């Protein structure tokens, strides 16, 4: 089991977060993602020392080797509304504190919606990260690349890099990234036809060392659609090839891989099926060593929001 990839799914915490590791084991996962509270409500959940200990013990018992949390959907750290931003900061600090208590090293977070001015929104978002990290020691935040719908920040690699660089230097090591294959594809990064070009650009702009987690999802919507619609692996617009590449590419060996694919009323069955498919992709051929792309990915192709994105 030690050599198995860090592969799993977002699992339910119904009945208590300490039940999540068992759900991970039921789908043969080595990694899980969880919410530490109800994601579409402001009401906070307190994690006591006893419950946190049960959660950590369950991770060991069920041989879950990696765990990440995802923050609540209502949080908008880039908001120009002072009341909403202040509430979001308090909620984000509470998310970090629950991760600290539970021993969860990573908190995945979507960049906010700027609503008024993109540049000002990015500055507000980065300042909120800085404030929250300074308040709560421990966990690292993983800023998730977005599909780019509406006024969402974080759909371009350059913007993600700037968010991190704007956080003050002593806190910056606690800011890293999560890439979602569906989001990248929806944002116009062609993982089907230009796999190496996309990741060469990521490495140049952000650095692959800062990629700690990948959300592994196919897309119901076409390239550049800016629509975040997850599909089963290999059954959406991306098809099997990018996922074969992901599972065999040596650059991603140590990266946590989490599926967020449709549950269709039976989470255990479909998550097991998707993870079995991904493991099959990994076994089907030798692990790929990175080869430089045949041409350098020009910013005009991969770094410009107007290219490859349906507006």
How many Å apart are CA 87 and CA 298, to the nearest integer? 40
Residue 145 placed within a domain:
yes
In this model, does residue 208 exceed pLDDT 80?
yes
Residue 45 placed within a domain:
yes
**Spacing of C-alpha 299 from chain mean position:** 24
Tally the C-alpha atoms within 13 A of residue 99's C-alpha that lie toward its C-beta: 30
**Spacing of C-alpha 193 from chain mean position:** 22
Tally the C-alpha atoms within 13 A of residue 261's C-alpha that lie toward its C-beta: 28
Phi and psi angles of residue 5, each rounded to the nearest 5 degrees, phi first: -65, 155
pLDDT at residue number 301:
31
Residue 19 placed within a domain:
yes
Q: Which domain holds residue 145?
A: 7-302
C-beta of residue 78 within 8 angstroms of C-beta of residue 153: yes
Q: Where are the beta strands (DSSP E) in 59-109?
A: 66-70, 106-109
pLDDT at residue number 291:
52
Count of domains observed in the chain: 1
Residue 65 placed within a domain:
yes
pLDDT at residue number 310:
26
Tally the C-alpha atoms within 13 A of residue 184's C-alpha that lie toward its C-beta: 29
Give SS3 for 155. coil
Chain mean pLDDT for the chain: 92
Nearest Cα neighbor of 205 from 222, 193, 220, 189 is 189
In this model, does residue 257 exceed pLDDT 80?
yes
How many Å apart are CA 230 and CA 234, to the nearest integer? 11
Q: What is the pTM of this model?
A: 0.90
- Quick: pLDDT tens for 265-282: 999 999 999 999 999 999
Residue 157 placed within a domain:
yes
CATH number of the structural domain spanning residue 42 = 3.20.20.150
Residue 230 placed within a domain:
yes
Tokens of 64: 């879950």
pLDDT at residue number 284:
75
Residue 308 placed within a domain:
no
Between 73 and 311, name the one with better pLDDT. Answer: 73
pLDDT at residue number 3:
63
Tokens of 188: 């116009």
- Quick: pLDDT tens for 134-147: 999 999 999 999 99
Gyration radius of the chain over CA positions: 19
pLDDT at residue number 305:
28
Residue 2 placed within a domain:
no
Structure confidence at residue 285 as a pLDDT band (50, 70, 90):
low
How many Å apart are CA 172 and CA 129, to the nearest integer? 10
């Amino acid at each position: 089991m030690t050599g198995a990839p860090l592969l799993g799914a977002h699992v339910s915490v119904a009945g208590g977060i300490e039940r999540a590791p068992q759900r991970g084991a039921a789908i043969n996962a080595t990694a899980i993602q969880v919410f530490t509270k109800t994601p579409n409500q402001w009401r906070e959940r307190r994690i006591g020392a006893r419950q946190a200990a049960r959660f950590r013990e369950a991770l060991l018992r069920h041989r879950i080797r990696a765990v990440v949390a995802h923050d609540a959907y209502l949080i908008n750290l880039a908001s120009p509304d002072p009341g909403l931003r202040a509430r979001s900061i308090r909620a984000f600090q509470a998310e970090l504190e629950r991760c600290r208590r539970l021993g969860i090293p990573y908190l995945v977070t979507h960049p906010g919606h700027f609503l008024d001015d993109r540049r000002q929104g990015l500055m507000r978002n980065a300042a909120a990260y800085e404030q929250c990290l300074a308040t709560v020691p421990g966990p690292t935040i993983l800023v998730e690349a977005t599909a780019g719908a509406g006024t969402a920040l974080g759909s371009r690699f350059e913007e993600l890099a700037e968010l991190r660089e704007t956080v003050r230097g002593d806190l910056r090591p606690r800011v890293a990234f999560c890439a979602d294959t569906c989001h990248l594809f929806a944002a116009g990064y062609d993982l089907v036809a230009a796999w190496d070009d996309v990741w060469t650009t990521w490495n140049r702009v952000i650095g692959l060392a800062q990629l700690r987690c990948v959300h592994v999802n196919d897309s119901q919507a076409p390239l550049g659609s800016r629509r975040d619609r997850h599909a089963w692996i290999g059954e959406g617009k991306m098809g099997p090839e990018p996922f074969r590449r992901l599972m065999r590419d040596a650059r991603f060996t140590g990266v946590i891989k989490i599926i967020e694919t449709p549950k269709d009323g039976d989470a255990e069955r479909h998550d097991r099926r998707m993870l079995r498919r991904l493991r099959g992709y990994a076994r089907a051929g030798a692990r790929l060593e990175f080869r430089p792309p045949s041409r350098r990915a020009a910013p005009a192709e991969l770094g410009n929001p107007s290219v490859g994105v349906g507006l």
